[in-house]
Amino acid sequence: MAHLETRESALDEQAGQIRSAMADLAARLRELDAEIENLRVTRKTLQTVPRPGPAAEQPPRPEMPDHPAYQQILTTPADTDRPMRARDICQALDLPILPKTTEGIRSKLKRLVARGILTDSEPGLFARPGT
């Protein structure tokens, strides 16, 4: 009889531990189910949000030639608010006013116009866009 009571007591203790573990697991299962439901709601909400359209793309910036002469040329029209001729730019850059020099500057100015960096409002007059 004593043996039966000892065995019954041990089994009651084990059953109590298992019931306690089951209660803990059931609570954890409820937490996981709630989290899963929150994720489902979030996914459903995100699927109803309209996707953003393509961002307004800025026009590509004109590619600047690498040669330093272009940088010097571009600083000259920036100093004035009026269009300049190739000869005026030669004078501003302290270059000799020779046909060879003037034509070299003019060809560089035309390249800058072709790339959209400068404009030529009239033949031979070069300026920054917007001036």
Per-residue pLDDT of the chain (131 residues; tens, 9 = 90+): 889 899 999 999 999 999 999 999 999 999 999 999 999 999 998 888 887 776 666 666 677 777 888 888 887 765 667 888 889 888 888 888 899 999 999 999 998 888 888 888 888 888 887 65
Residue 125, strand partner residues: 122
Q: 70 near 107, Cβ under 8 Å?
A: no
Note whether residue 112 is domain-resident: yes
Please state, in angstroms and rounded to a whole number, the distance separating the CA atoms of residues 79 and 93.
Answer: 12
Note whether residue 29 is domain-resident: yes
Which pTM was predicted?
Answer: 0.52
- Supply the range of the domain harboring residue 76: 68-127
- Count of structural domains within the chain: 2
Note whether residue 34 is domain-resident: yes
Supply the pLDDT for residue 51. 78
Note whether residue 98 is domain-resident: yes
Note whether residue 84 is domain-resident: yes
Q: What are phi and psi of 41, to 5 degrees?
A: -65, -40
The C-alpha torsion from 109 through 112 and 118 to 122, rounded to 10°, is 50
Note whether residue 61 is domain-resident: no
Joined tokens for residue 64: 């600047």
43 & 72 share domain? no
Please state, in angstroms and rounded to a whole number, the distance separating the CA atoms of residues 44 and 110.
Answer: 57
